[in-house]
Structure 1
């Protein structure tokens, strides 16, 4: 009897601990317009192997409150064709929840769009980790990076 009670207790405690643990799985978000300010720091553009008219880059955005986020910035330089984006991904300050998946989308020719990861607290006067973004088109994934940035003091 005591063994059953202890087993039941162990199962209940395990379930409780699992349910209260933080979740690090990233959400999936849509694309939004891109409007930069002086708080943006972006890596170099990368042209995608499958569609050279599509180029993208990683940008880190910091704020005066000690927060930072990464944006996957995509441009379709074609003057005649929309491009289908299979998927995007942002990997940034993973331990703080700064990662995100970007929904599939059509990007109009001549269009620009950003996939914004969540803003995470890194602290004032702190350096962020570097950011990595991925863009998947027709099953081929390419990546780009942005160097870590200091948040304002």
Structure 2
């Protein structure tokens, strides 16, 4: 049987999940109202915008915390909207390459100022520079620990 969490661990866990939920809610509202984007659509566009070139669907799936089928659906919606383009990889017949279009870059530019304002106002304004550095270090270690597990794209699909 699993050992229970210490009271401070439980408080920290709930504070983290509540803060993340409140931040994500505000971000989702802003992205929808200013760009008609879901959070995952924004995340896909932002990752493609920051990449040196097209990414494979597997690379996107490993970078975005979302189901494979959900990612495929969201990519289809973004492609229909003209924000991304998908094509078969010329070097791997099993891979699909995804790239951001000029319209996709414009949509990211449209929502980014409001996105930054929400993140700054809700997450960073109440913190000192030292707090930001400590939080970044702590959350980076937690993320890296979680990412050390095999990527979701390597797990077998449930049937």
TM-score between the two structures when normalised by the length of structure 2: 0.20
Higher relative contact order (CA 8 A, sep 6+): 1
- Structure 1 or 2: larger strand share? 1
- Structure 1 or 2: larger helix share? 2
Q: Which protein is bigger by CA-based radius of gyration?
A: 1
TM-score between the two structures when normalised by the length of structure 1: 0.20
